[in-house]
């Protein structure tokens, strides 16, 4: 479903695991900072609301969205995060630069997730203009940062749950 038909901040809270004890790295792109910082606030507040401790969050900033995958790789190298959330906004311009960046970020985060085993969340807005960006950074279509936080909690909890040893008692 396209985000124009969905509010990115609306989700079933009863389906979200308690996030206390989970650790998150967050990478925020400085391009279109009004948008990405609003996404970051939405993301951070959602993590805290679901029980994440402030001390279990580490945020880094990168110059632009193209740098999100390497920012995530640096955080992944610390080996202490259950998931890494990447937040950026690439607004379509007169050339195809947006397509190159968006594809590179998608491929980079997919590869890093698979190779590292750490979920790297694609919190990248790819709007046609600033109005569409504002609509998705706390405007009428919600906040992509909230959606990214919820996805990160679910994936981090899944990773932790599967890593637990299964009981040896019984069959």
Q: Which candidate in 37, 97, 103, 141 is catalytic? A: 97
CA atoms within 13 A on the CB side of 158: 12
Residue numbers at the binding site for ligand DLZ (CB under 6 A): 29, 31-32, 63-67, 88-91, 93, 97, 101
Residue closer to ligand DLZ (CB basis): 101 or 148: 101
Residue closer to ligand DLZ (CB basis): 92 or 159: 92
H and E: helices and strands count for the chain:
5, 6
Residue closer to ligand DLZ (CB basis): 56 or 67: 67
Task: Identify each DSSP E strand in the chain by its residue range.
Answer: 24-29, 57-62, 83-89, 120-125, 137-139, 142-143
Which residue has the closest beta carbon to ligand DLZ? 64
Minimum Å gap between C-beta 9 and ligand DLZ is: 22
Residue labelled with tokens 């190298």: 77
Residue 141 to residue 135: CA distance in whole angstroms: 5
Annotated catalytic residue 97: yes
Minimum Å gap between C-beta 90 and ligand DLZ is: 4
Task: List the catalytic residues.
Answer: 97
């Amino acid at each position: 479903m396209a985000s124009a038909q969905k509010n990115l901040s609306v989700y079933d809270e009863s389906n979200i695991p308690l996030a206390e004890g989970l650790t998150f790295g967050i990478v925020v792109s400085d391009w279109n900072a009004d948008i990405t910082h609003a996404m970051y606030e939405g993301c951070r507040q959602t993590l805290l609301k679901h029980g994440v401790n402030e001390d279990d969050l580490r945020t880094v900033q990168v110059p632009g969205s193209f740098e999100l995958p390497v920012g995530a790789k640096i955080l992944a190298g610390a080996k202490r995060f259950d998931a890494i959330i990447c937040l950026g906004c690439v607004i379509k311009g007169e050339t195809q630069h947006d397509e190159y960046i968006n594809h590179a970020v998608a491929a980079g985060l997919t590869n890093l997730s698979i190779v590292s085993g750490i979920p790297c969340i694609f919190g990248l807005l790819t709007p046609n203009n600033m109005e569409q960006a504002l609509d998705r950074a706390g405007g009428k279509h919600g906040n992509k940062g909230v959606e990214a936080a919820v996805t990160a909690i679910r994936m981090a909890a899944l990773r932790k749950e599967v890593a637990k040893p299964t009981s040896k008692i019984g069959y």
